[in-house]
């Protein structure tokens, strides 16, 4: 069959193959055959297909890595149900890639147990280690890689030697999920893998992917029914409490993430769920339960639909909540103490910002919770409590902690800008400017990533105050030694 000329090919009309052809003669075009003919046949596998082929080929290699004991001192995680108690995983039994040795998994899982189990008490590390012995269990391989990637990123661990980086861990988790066809199966493994990948991407500043993964974890929870009381009907006490912890972790994370990124929350717990109980033997103290109640109190005072319903009729509830003093239990773990005191201050400031536009002449002028100086009192109280905590206790909570501290500091800056008279202080009184400088110094000292733009925004606000040049911006200025004792930041 004669080859079509260039003009006929571009015009997509039939060509008789002559030179010049009838089509070119009729259109008064130069008939040419300069166009290079494309090579017929397949164009080669796409990168995604090549990755799958390589994974399948690697799966036939024997696992030569042996599990080793942990060098860290970690305790047992208690009677947390194993993943075998969860809905069965209908995954195939193809052997997974063993690029990450079991010894590496064990090393990072021990670090998680020692430092982050109090933050996310939903992982039984002993169970994970045991399941990793089975090289056919892809689900636990993906989950372990996700946990390790989140642990490395959250704690800013320095990776030396042959240990895998957090990016490599996350890539392994994603690859294993792809081979599992994870979206076709609704399991607790899949839920937790999505959640810890959300933590990883939140720490690396990829907010869109982080948000999508959190929504994915919430979708799994909805499909499984963790938000409904009927799900817990026939479960024993330990299993019930385990699933409740997962549900509450999702609730807290969803509310915090939504507030910090101006997104609508998507996870709502049923009003008749079983009560979450403190379980010391599971590594879960009353501090976690207090944190859950703190978010529930905020939810009661400020429902998610407040923007559509208006705020005047909610001022009473918000004012009551702001005046309430939350008595937190004595907590030996400073990571949990840091979470409680910062979250309490942050939620108070958020409630105040919701309420303040609706304050008018009919509002009680003696209501300190609805006064313009409220963020200042919250910030001073927060700094006094943080003086007893180390920076590591704050850094364990990742970029979310920076966002909360920024919200408090930013509110103080807004108050000074809008009500400059409040910034006038005596020689022996710590005023708003000094508190603001102390908070900004604290934020800039934390080794966290994910929200570098927040510190820039805070600096811009401080520059607008016309108080200090760039060289002295992050310092506490003109504060006496006696006053400075009230502004000690975590060391």
Q: What is the pLDDT of residue 63?
A: 36
Alpha-carbon torsion, ordered 303, 308, 314, 318, to 10 deg: 50
Residue whose structure tokens are 């409220």: 374
What is the rounded distance in angstroms from the CA atom of residue 193 to the CA atom of residue 60? 24
* Neighbouring C-beta atoms of residue 219, cutoff 10 Å: 16
pLDDT tens, 368-421?
666 777 888 889 889 988 888 888 888 888 888 888 898 898 888 888 877 766
167 vs 172, 181, 200, 204, CA distance in Å?
9, 21, 9, 9
Which CATH fold topology does 1-33 show? CD2-Gal4 (4.10.240)
**Using the 8-state DSSP alphabet, how is residue 228 labeled?**
S
Contact 220, 246 (CB under 8 A): no
In total, the chain counts a number of residues equal to 491
Q: What is the pLDDT of residue 64?
A: 29
User: What's the pTM?
Assistant: 0.69
- Break the chain into its structural domains and give their ranges: 1-33, 100-277, 296-470
Q: What is the pLDDT of residue 254?
A: 94
Backbone φ and ψ of 379, nearest 5°:
-65, -40
Pick from 201, 195, 189: nearest CA to 153: 201
Q: What is the pLDDT of residue 36?
A: 67
Contact 446, 391 (CB under 8 A): yes
What is the rounded distance in angstroms from the CA atom of residue 473 to the CA atom of residue 417? 16
What is the rounded distance in angstroms from the CA atom of residue 339 to the CA atom of residue 341? 6
Please give the average pLDDT of every successive group of 10 residues along the chain, which has 491 residues.
Answer: 80 83 83 71 55 50 33 37 40 51 92 91 93 91 95 84 76 89 86 96 91 96 93 91 94 91 89 81 68 81 56 56 59 82 88 74 57 84 88 86 88 80 52 82 77 74 59 34 44 48
What is the rounded distance in angstroms from the CA atom of residue 82 to the CA atom of residue 66? 22
**CA 482-382-407 angle, 5° bins:** 125
Q: What is the pLDDT of residue 197?
A: 96
Residue 487 DSSP SS3? helix
Q: What is the pLDDT of residue 315?
A: 55
Taking the CA atoms of the chain, what radius of gyration do you get in angstroms? 29
């Amino acid at each position: 069959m004669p080859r079509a000329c260039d003009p006929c090919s571009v015009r997509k009309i039939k060509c008789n193959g002559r030179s010049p052809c009838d089509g070119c003669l009729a259109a008064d075009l130069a008939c040419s055959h300069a166009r290079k003919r494309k090579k017929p046949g397949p164009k080669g596998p796409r990168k995604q297909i090549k990755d799958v082929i390589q994974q399948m080929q690697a799966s036939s290699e024997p696992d030569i890595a042996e599990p080793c004991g942990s060098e860290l001192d970690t305790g047992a995680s208690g009677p947390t149900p194993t993943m075998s108690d969860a809905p069965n995983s209908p995954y195939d039994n193809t052997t997974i890639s063993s690029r990450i040795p079991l010894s590496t998994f064990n090393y990072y899982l021990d670090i998680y147990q020692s430092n982050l189990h109090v933050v996310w008490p939903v992982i039984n590390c002993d169970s994970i280690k045991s399941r990793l012995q089975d090289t056919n269990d892809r689900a636990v391989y993906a989950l372990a890689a996700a946990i390790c990637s989140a642990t490395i990123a959250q704690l800013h661990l320095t990776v030396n030697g042959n240990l895998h980086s957090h990016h490599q861990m996350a890539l392994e988790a994603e690859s294993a999920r792809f081979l599992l066809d994870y979206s076709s199966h609704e399991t607790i493994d899949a839920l937790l893998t999505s959640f810890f990948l959300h933590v990883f991407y939140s720490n690396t500043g990829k907010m869109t992917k982080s948000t999508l993964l959190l929504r994915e974890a919430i979708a799994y929870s909805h499909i499984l029914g963790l938000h409904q009381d009927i799900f817990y009907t026939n479960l024993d006490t330990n299993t019930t409490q385990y699933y409740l912890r997962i549900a509450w972790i999702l609730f807290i994370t969803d509310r915090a993430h939504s507030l910090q990124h101006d997104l609508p929350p998507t996870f709502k717990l049923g009003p008749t769920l079983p009560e979450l109980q403190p379980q010391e033997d599971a590594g879960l103290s009353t501090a976690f339960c207090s944190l859950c109640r703190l978010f529930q109190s905020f939810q009661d005072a400020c429902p998610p639909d407040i923007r559509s319903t208006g705020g005047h009729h909610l001022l009473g509830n918000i004012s009551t909540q702001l005046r309430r003093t939350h008595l937190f239990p004595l907590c030996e773990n400073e990571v949990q103490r840091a979470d409680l005191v910062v979250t309490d201050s942050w939620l108070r400031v958020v409630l105040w910002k919701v309420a303040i536009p609706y304050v008018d002449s009919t509002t009680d002028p003696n209501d300190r919770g609805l006064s313009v100086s409220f963020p200042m009192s919250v910030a001073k109280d927060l700094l006094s409590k943080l003086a007893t905590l180390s920076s590591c206790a704050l850094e364990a909570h990742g970029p979310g902690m920076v966002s909360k501290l920024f919200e408090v500091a930013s509110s103080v800056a807004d108050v000074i800008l809008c009500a400059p008279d409040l910034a006038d202080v005596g020689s022996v009184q710590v005023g708003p400017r000094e508190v603001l400088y102390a908070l900004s110094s604290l934020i800039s000292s934390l080794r966290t990533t994910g929200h570098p733009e927040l510190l820039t925004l805070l600096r811009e606000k401080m520059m607008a105050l016309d108080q200090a040049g760039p060289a002295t911006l992050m310092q506490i200025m003109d504060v006496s030694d006696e006053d400075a004792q009230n502004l000690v930041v975590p060391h």
